[in-house]
Amino acid sequence: MDMERQWHPVFAIGPYVLLAVLVAYTMITKWADGASLLLDLLLCGLAAVSMLLARLKPVFFWALLGIMLVLVIRDPWFGCLTPAGFIYAFRVLRWPWELVGVAAVAVIAGTAQATAVDKSTLFGLLSYIGVLAANVGPMCLFAWFLQRGAKHEEERERTMLELSEANRRLEATLAVNADLHERLLSQAREAGVLDERQRMAREIHDTLAQGLIGIIAQLQAAEQATDDPAAWQRHLSLATGLARESLSEARRSVHALRPAPLETGRLADALSGVAGRWSALHGLEVALTTTGTPRPMPPEVEVALLRTAQEALANVAKHAQAGRVGVTLSYMEDSVALDVRDDGKGFDPADGSSGFGLIAMRQRVEGLSGTLQIESEPGAGTGISASVPAEALL
């Protein structure tokens, strides 16, 4: 681009200077011979006008070539004007007409150079053709190389523009991704806080709330047994044991530790301990059954099933007024299931009055891709079935 600005005055003024020099030479030469200058001056004036108009409309370039050919035929020294023809061919014509224009100017230059060749003989004609080829071939090859370089330059500029646009879009995409990443982090933090709140709510309900209910029940029973020291002492001991157990479970919940019954045994053993304590507190025997071949399970699965059993038994104590209670742990090939059933007064699961305990049970089990089913109706008892699929046991 800098070279084009540097040589632009040469391209613009050079052809006119060259034409002026040739006009002066023609006038001096023909004035000395006494020849007429009128036609030469007219042709040179038309050539100057054609050069001026060719910069505006390329069609005048071909008029300039015709005038140059006539001038060369009349006076061979006008072959020195052909550099101006090449300049205009390269500057005003589009490809592939540029190649045709360059070839035409080269033919005029070769014609001027071969003026002295006798074209009436075969040798002279071949010599003339050779001179034309010597002019046309190199100039057309030069034009082809220029076109190829210009095309490569255009492709490079287009590639740079596309690359710049791609970079701009990439920057915009990165900015959007950064904003999205920040939003996702914020949502993840909020989800983590919500999950932790839900976990603590479930743990408080499963430990402190149930423990406090049991303590209150035992203290109320102790108040009614003031005339029976042995019964009073038994209820007080049970309340004290529940308080200590609840405190221990609360500490474990805060530190996200496994429940105490699972620390030293498998789920079946833990359920046996829970059923035994529940029976001692409420005076109702729990029938515990285990089917299938016990196998190790991830801690979160054992915790979910243990808490489900605890909550189901707590609901039996509070609401069922049952005469029989059964807990069944089933190890199956594709899942592990826990069933807690009673023959109490039952309820309608569709009435929308389910408490937090049932909601917490469902959240625990469904969080492991499991299912929780509640079967009950007024006067027909209640059955709660929790099932965890095999993939959650891996």
Place of tokens 């701009």: 168
Cβ neighbours, 10 Å, residue 352:
6
Which CATH number do you get for residue 315?
3.30.565.10
Range of the domain at 86: 2-116
pLDDT at 4 over 70: no
Residue 352 is predicted with a pLDDT of 60
Residue 207 is predicted with a pLDDT of 64
Q: Of 116, 150, 173, at which residue does a domain stop?
A: 116
Question: Has residue 148 been placed in a domain?
Answer: no
Residue 61 is predicted with a pLDDT of 87
Angle at the Cα of 339 from the Cα atoms of 267 and 203, rounded to 5 degrees: 60
pLDDT at 225 over 80: no
**Number of structural domains in the chain:** 2
Residue 81 is predicted with a pLDDT of 87
The per-residue pLDDT for range 333-363, each reduced to its tens digit, is 888 999 999 998 988 887 765 666 788 888 8
Give long-range contacts, CB 8 A cutoff, 24+ apart: 271-278.
271/306, 271/309, 271/327, 271/329, 274/306, 274/309, 274/310, 274/313, 275/309, 275/313, 275/327, 278/313, 278/317
Q: Of 116, 132, 166, at which residue does a domain stop?
A: 116
Residue 263 is predicted with a pLDDT of 61
Lowest mean pLDDT among 61-70, 151-160, 183-192: 183-192
Question: Has residue 304 been placed in a domain?
Answer: yes
pTM here? 0.45
Choose among 216, 205, 192: nearest CA to 253. 205
Lowest mean pLDDT among 115-124, 199-208, 380-389: 199-208
Residue 7 is predicted with a pLDDT of 46
- The residue that leads in pLDDT, 7 or 60, is 60
List residues bridging with 330 in a β-sheet.
291, 337
pLDDT at 289 over 60: yes
Question: Has residue 200 been placed in a domain?
Answer: no
Band of pLDDT at residue 383, cut at 50, 70 and 90? very high
User: How far is 368 from 195, CA to CA, in rounded Å?
Assistant: 14
pLDDT at 214 over 80: no
Q: Of 81, 101, 116, at which residue does a domain stop?
A: 116
Question: Has residue 368 been placed in a domain?
Answer: yes
Kindly report the three-state secondary structure assignment for every residue of 151-163: HHHHHHHHHHHHH
Question: Has residue 322 been placed in a domain?
Answer: yes
pLDDT at 188 over 90: no
